Copies of this chain bind each other. A is one copy, B any other.
Amino acid sequence: MENAKVINLKDIKFENGFWKEMQELVRNEVIPYQSKALDDGIDGAEPSRCKENFRKAAKALRLRKSGVKTPVYPTDKWHYTEEAGAFKGWVFQDSDLYKWIEAASYSLINHRDLKLEKAVDGAIELICSAAEDDGYIDTLYTINNPAARFENLRDFHELYCFGHLAEAACAHYSATGKKTLLSAAARFADLICKEFGEGGIQGYGGHPIAEEGLLKLYGKTGKRDYLDTARLFINRRGTRPYYFDLERGETTPKGEIKYTYNQAHLPVREQKEAAGHAVRAVYLYTAMAHLARIDDDSELLNTCKALFDDITDKKMYITGGIGSTKEGEAFTYAYDLPNGTAYAETCASVGMIFFARRMAQADFDSKYFNTAEKCLYNCVLAGMAEDGKSFFYTNPLEIDPKTLAADERKSHIKAVRQKWFDCACCPPNIARLISDLGEYCFMENDDTIFINLYENCKAKFDNAEIEINGDYTGSGKISVKIKPAEPVKIAFRIPDWSDNYIFSVKNPFVKKGYAYFEINEEQTIEADFSPRIKIMRCNPKVRENIGKVAVTRGPFVYCLEEKDNLSNLHMLRLAEHPKFSFDGENIFANGYREYFSSTALYSEYRPVKEKLVHLKFIPYYKWANRGENEMAVYIRYR
């Protein structure tokens, strides 16, 4: 197996491009906003109480060390609001702070900021003050009942919080070289390796991520225990008897499948279809793909390939959203992609990008970053308002705001982005991904540098410097200047939407969707990916979209909004031979609106009456930035 080298975010500098702007938004708005949110300082938003918990935990530790017996509170809920001295918020509340530190750390790499660095140091100090003597950190248990730790791995997110802590620690160490958080994470990791090793607790986390956290820690520290425990967690998952049965004294009859929600229904190597909670799924698959690469485990990699293909071929919205139902925030069945009740959680698409990157690093096929790009430019970006101040949790492909209050089936859908969520997983996930995006743009193996995403940037590698300039999302033209220190191969991802691409160097070798160029001396390669406005259709097995199409251009999926096209968007129809125009951002076309003079609910069919209309499509990620209004990605056609 070819093996990817580690790309260092420090070596990739974004410059004046699409994602540079987004990174600046995250740096100037999202990270400070989230910092404030973690301090419960945002009017009209649910208080996070995250830092308050760390302070309480530190205090409880101090009291106990000084011999005071601290009160015991229950540890039996997902969400805590009641008892005065006890833990507050969700069982995974700690992870908000970790994700903020991770995002802030990447941001510090991209943009030095002493004030932010100091704020991060303060947060880390707070975290360290809440660490038990043996390295354990989880404020729920430290505050409420230390004796109950690791007793409910299925529901209560200690291992999940650890995973985010480990990821944050790795990011912070990369950003600052400081080992404060890395040491804390490593001490907790050491405890986990001891407690969960052979002869210890035979369990694993109900919400995967500890696995990827351990693998990242292994990457930073080289400590094999972390790799071994990650492997143990992955291989142990879903085996019989179910650990989650043992944990609660239950027995699942042979032949019955359980714990799909927790990604623990089958041993991972026996999983052929993406199932259960979408975020949990892709977080697990990310670690599986990562481990498959490290271990050169082709069986595990093949499982990952099957799962990746199952998602992208049968279970992914055209926007890159995954998770078709709010019931368990889960995958359902092949081709079930309802527009108006989609779950399509922002975090799930973020996780899909994690998974895609790990797959690309193991398999060097362009399909992975084609998918990552789809997620990134559409579902993920839609998760954040243009001003970086409000966020979507779920990302439907069609909305009629006036129906939401009356429809429990859409209880998860919001018509406008929310300031902050009491369950605040999505905003920091967007922040940490966008801030770290440099790491996704490139990958390397022994002889090739791969360009995955075409952001304007300057990048340094051992054997070459690369500079990308151009207008990837607009004209689709980019220029890549390569200064090799020694002869090097550069592989350009050919975007799947580009069917008429031209490289200035003719006849590159094309393999698995990458165009390979051998570079022996300084050279500039121009690429023109010629984005076209495309009318896209679904496989007819997607019941809801038969007879409908979506409009795309380059990486962007477009949508109609009521502000531009009046209400009852479903009554619109794209003209059979539409005349499209493009103003650099929006797409215009001719179409028809059905009109119906009768108020009858049912009537005998008469030829439909239509009025000519001018349709305006905006990029999907820009929707809901002008207040509540209808939105639709799909429009009827022919």
| A residues apposed to B, CB below 8 Å | 312-314, 316, 318, 325, 327-328, 332-333, 335-336, 341, 400, 402-403, 406-409, 534-543, 546-547, 549, 568, 570-571, 594, 596, 598-605, 608, 636-638
Contact = CB atoms under 8 A, between A and B. Distances in A.
A602 B539 CA distance: 6
Contacts of A332: 403, 406-407
A395 to B, nearest CB: 17
B535 A605 contact: yes
A329 B367 CA distance: 44
A56 B132 CA distance: 59
Contacts of A407: 325, 327, 332-333, 336
Nearest to A402: B333
A518 B402 CA distance: 52
Given A325-B408, A341-B409, A534-B604, 16 more contacts: A318-B602, A327-B407, A328-B408, A332-B406, A333-B406, A333-B407, A336-B406, A537-B602, A537-B604, A539-B598, A539-B599, A539-B602, A540-B570, A540-B571, A541-B568, A546-B571
A547 B543 CA distance: 13
B601 A312 contact: yes
Nearest to A331: B406
Total copies of this chain within the assembly: 2
B539 A605 contact: no
Given A333-B407, A406-B333, A542 B601 contact: yes
A601 B313 contact: yes
A637 B314 CA distance: 26
Contacts of A538: 601-602
Given A314-B601, A546-B594, A605-B549, A408 B539 contact: no
Q: Chain B CB within 10 Å — which of A407, A602, A603 has the most?
A: A602
Nearest to A333: B406
Contacts of A318: 602
Given A327-B408, A332-B406, A602 B314 contact: no
23 contacts: A312-B601, A313-B599, A313-B601, A325-B407, A325-B408, A328-B408, A400-B543, A409-B409, A534-B605, A535-B604, A536-B603, A536-B604, A537-B602, A537-B603, A537-B605, A538-B601, A538-B602, A539-B603, A540-B568, A541-B568, A542-B601, A549-B605, A608-B638
A180 to B, nearest CB: 45
Nearest to A538: B602
A30 B365 CA distance: 63
A409 B637 contact: no
A129 to B, nearest CB: 42
Given A316-B601, A571-B546, A403 B539 contact: no
Contacts of A638: 608
Q: Chain B CB within 10 Å — which of A542, A547, A596 has the most?
A: A547
A594 B536 CA distance: 17
Nearest to A608: B638
A539 B406 contact: no
A537 B594 CA distance: 13
A537 B608 CA distance: 10
Contacts of A608: 638
Contacts of A602: 318, 536-539
A550 B145 CA distance: 62
B601 A546 contact: no
A314 B19 CA distance: 47
A261 to B, nearest CB: 11
Nearest to A328: B408
Contacts of A603: 536-537, 539
